[in-house]
Amino acid sequence: MTKSLDPLADYNARRDFSRTAEPRGQVGAGGAKRRFVVQKHAASRLHYDFRLEWNGVLLSWAVTKGPSPDPGEKRLAVRTEDHPLDYGDFEGTIPKGEYGGGTVMLWDTGGWVPQEDFEKGLSDGKLKFTLQGQRMKGGWALVRMRGKPNETRENWLLIKERDDYAEGDPDGFTKGKAVSVKTGRTMTQIAEDAPAKAPPDPAPDRCRKRPAFVKPQLATLVAEAPEGVDWLHETKFDGYRCLAALGKGGMRLYTRSGKDWTDRFHALDGAFDPLSCDAALIDGEVMAARIHGSAFSSLQKALKQGNALVFFAFDLLRIDGDDLRKLPQIERRERLARLLSGVPSGGPLRLSEHIVGKGPEVFANACKAGAEGIISKRIDAPYRGTRSKAWRKVKCTRRQEFVIVGYSPSDKAGRPFASILLASPGCDALRYKGRVGTGFSDAVMADLAGAMTPRKTPPCDDVPDDIARDAQWVRADLVAEVEFTEFTGDGYVRHASFLGLRDDKNADDVGLEEPMEDGNDTTMQGIRISNASRPVFPDAGCTKGDVARHYARVGERLIALAGHRPLSLFRCPSGISDPCFFQKHDGGGMPGELSRVNIEESDGDSADYLYATRPESLIAAAQMGSIEFHIWGARTDRLERPDRLVFDLDPDEGLDWADVQSAAFDVRDTLADIGLQSGAIVTGGKGVHVWLALRRTRGWDSVKLFAKTFAHVMAERAPDRYTATMSKSKRKGRIFIDWLRNERGATAIAPYSLRARPGAHVAVPVTWDELKDLDGANRFSMSDMAARLKADCPAAQVQDNLQSLSDGVIDALQTLSEE
């Protein structure tokens, strides 16, 4: 067709809009989803008008015999004038004598996706696209025929591609599909202007509220399938995890992270319609209906081209207002099987089959059949929206999701990169895990290159120098699925192959999976760490082994500053998400690497207290679930002579970090005014400790009185900013200068101790210049310690600068209090 400056000029010129109800031609803006339309048209000759939305109009072809689902049947499609987008809703009768006079039915409509460069295809005469209609689905092609000399019309052929939607009957589409998808009327009823009916095969009118998305239960990777009849086993599907929510307002399909992918999974439209329920929430996995190569790559191709999908259902969480999640797994499966009992076999909705017992045998057979692995589930377990050992996965091959952090350039023409660089979240930081340079088709490589967003600095700091030297860094927001044989001794993937991008997962959701077993032990500096893979800081991806590793790393510094002091341990044996507790007495059962000292308490009784003398003491405490170490202000060799003075600046909830910073400098300067030099420790929480080392010349009562007096002086000088009283009412809008840390038996967080809070933060000594530039007291986490330890410890100089609460210092404080 010859293009005009106005693509609808020909359309408008052919019609008298005072006589026809057809819409006047105007180029439209279009929507987010391109539309296609097929209109059955009883003009001088019955035909079907096939229209594709493009550049604000409907490109149009007249298909003389109608579309055919048979790939061997090539139907003549004559190119006609472009139509306005509004024409896609037109159904009615064009008056006789007008252009195209006759009855028009809206025979099919839906979305469509080009498979190749559409403008180029339009010019070259070969269009390939995927239809997502109510009747026409899957891949199609329009091919322009070679024209005869002086022929004015463009003849094309409409051809169905060979896919899951193809049929052998050439007239399978037009047979029996005699009513409008919009009004449910026949051509005769439209001509008679009969009232609209319900469209054919309507989706069920569900009357209950559609269930909301819930976090799905996740499986724990293990090395072996569990045995016994307490477990059921099913195939581990290599697709996208999906929760289907049915109810009033239609169906929604959610990914594992809660993204609404209903539109992306459009091939499942109508799949859940046969279910006899008013509302349901079904857990399952979306797969490609036809597998070519790997199941995962087939799924990605199916999503891109609009090919058929299958939803394998394996759990029922809600139905008709009932929450089934507390029921045993086997009961939920039975309810699910009953719900799906009327669904046609081989369709887009299928029940995931399972076997009870014989786990190792089921796993072996799954691997022989080429499956990715199996999922084993306790038959008596409820459904929990978290990772649990009640669901276990066993893989036939090693596969892992990694975050893409960069790529190595290629020296081959036309190849955008040689390999991509991989990382996985470690303890609150990305850790380099190697690279992958195989498994990419040219198309995948081009798509991936276009999806990566450049950045100047590396997302992780442990990439080997020889790789980092030429690496091009990218924003760490793409997730790759990779198959590999093993991890090397350095922790890098060996013989890796790229499987595809995980669009359904965020980079923050990626975690390195290692088989977890009871007795997953490791040894650190001669100390056995049991269940080293147990999560301790789930949000940061830090395990019990990471905690022990932290104390091995910072041990020398922590002991130098906090060793040989009575301890209170804050223990979280099952991680910070579960109950934790303080322990200050031995009580028996604590490891021998921790030393004991018998201390008389205020009530006259005595008890054994624990203290650390070497890094192994800290590691052994970590083995017992210790997260935090809180220390006395005196050492065990002279318990009644404190050698440490500390002021804990504790802000009210309404104050921000700048208020705390300002207070720390105020305390520092006031101490300097009376002749004392101090240091700072950010606590890993909200506050700052201002502290100094003392000569052991005074007892607890004197040190406590000095600290109390100093805090009250600060509060009296700036009563709107500070309080020296613990009372909540007095602390409103103020910073509590906590001087109570300086009495016998009181403790303060040890430098380099972890804090049992989300983020795996650490209490860290800082210089005053550093404090000025920090953005919070929880600035440092476990992952920062390797770099931090390369520099001198700011607390060492404070520790070496022993000072006395001399008469001169006390007199200076007295003078301040009288001002």
Q: Is 355 exposed, middle or buried (0-12, 13-18, 19+ CB in 10 A)?
A: middle
Q: How many residues are recorded in the chain?
A: 819
Both tokens of residue 99?
A: 């252009």
Q: Which amino acid is located at 379 in the chain?
A: I
∠ CA 790-794-796, nearest 5°, is 100
Buried/exposed 532-571: b ≥16 CB within 10 Å, e otherwise = bbbbbbeebbbbbbbbbbbbbbbbebbbebbbbbbbbbbb
Q: Which helix (H) or strand (E) holds 570?
A: strand 567-571
d(CA 30, CA 359): 54
d(CA 87, CA 422): 50
d(CA 741, CA 263): 59
Contact 550, 782 (CB under 8 A): yes
Catalytic residue among 40, 137, 236, 301: 236
Contact 437, 448 (CB under 8 A): no
Q: In the chain, what is the straight-line distance between the N-terminal and C-terminal CA atoms, in Å?
A: 95
Buried/exposed 642-679: b ≥16 CB within 10 Å, e otherwise = bbbbbbbbbbbeebebebbbebbebbbebbeebebebb
Contact 593, 527 (CB under 8 A): yes
Concatenated DSSP letters of 489-541: TTS-EES-EEEEE-TTS-GGG--------TT--EEETTEEETTTTSEEETTTT
Instruction: Using DSSP bridges, classify how beta strands 155-160 and 688-693 pair: parallel, antiparallel or unpaired.
Output: unpaired
Kindly compute the dihedral angle of the four CA atoms of residues 770, 775, 777, 779, in this order, to the nearest 10 degrees.
-90
- From residue 768, alpha-carbon distances to 370, 678, 680 in Å are 61, 10, 7
d(CA 570, CA 755): 9
User: DSSP alpha helices (H): ranges in 273-328?
Assistant: 295-305
Contact 330, 348 (CB under 8 A): no
DSSP 101: -
* Residue in 36, 28, 94, 96 with CA at minimum distance from that of residue 57: 28
Helix %, strand %, coil % for the chain, to 5?
20, 30, 45
Contacts of 53 (CB under 8 A, 6+ apart): 30, 34, 35, 36, 59, 85, 88, 112
Both tokens of residue 169?
A: 């009957």
Is residue 447 classed as helix, strand or coil in its secondary structure?
Answer: helix
Active site residue 236: yes
Query: How distant is the alpha carbon of residue 613 from its chain centre?
Result: 42
Catalytic machinery residues: 236
